[in-house]
Amino acid sequence: MTSLARAVAGEASLTDVGALAWMMIRNVVPCASMALFVNDDGQDAVEVRFAAGAHAIALRRVRKPRGAGVSGWVSASLLNADPALDMGLEPAVLSAPLCSALAVPLTHDGSCVGVLALYASAPNAFSEDQLRTLELLAPSLGASIASVGAAAEPQVAAVAGARRQSAADLRLVRR
């Protein structure tokens, strides 16, 4: 509920956005896992910034160059793709195997800001109707991710500036 309270107050973090999405989506589109991939433009890659469900710990370590894996090259929605392309391992060997993936691009102002990926343990687990449902949700989720990213940029810049100042202060003290 704290995620919802922060979102309503306009103070949601990416974790809040992901947690709310997971709570809603898994009731509409049954799945074993969910991952939110967010663009890292500086590294020309996508990385998981939120994961939930089965194998969430393994998913949180996934980072793909643009053009690699399901989430690295999705510019159109993908239905029942192979999860191994994202996870970098054979999902069938996991204790609860993942056999299909559904990936939807998240856009804001004409740019792809990330990818929503759902994973299921059954082959061909996702339907066209479920894909369309996520495509309807994708613009709102993309706008949420973009606003969280925009809100975080000034904080990151402020922290970097404070670190540079602290380093300069330390150099003055050592002399």
pLDDT digits (tens, 9 = 90+) for 17-64: 899 999 999 999 999 999 998 887 777 778 899 999 988 888 898 887
100 pLDDT above the threshold of 50: yes
Residue 169 has a pLDDT of 47
What pLDDT band is residue 131 in, cutting at 50, 70 and 90?
very high
Q: What is the CATH number of the domain that holds 92?
A: 3.30.450.40
State pLDDT tens for residues 65-90. Answer: 776 655 555 555 556 555 655 555 55
- Provide the pLDDT for residue 127: 94
Q: What is the C-alpha to C-alpha distance for residues 31 and 132, in angstroms, rounded to an integer? A: 15
pLDDT at residue 171 in the model: 47
Please, which pLDDT band fits residue 175 given cuts at 50, 70 and 90? very low
**Number of independent structural domains in the chain:** 1
Q: Which amino acid does the sequence have at 149?
A: G
Domain that holds residue 106: 2-174
- The reported pLDDT for the residue numbered 25 is 93
162, with CB counted inside 10 A (0-12, 13-18, 19+), is exposed
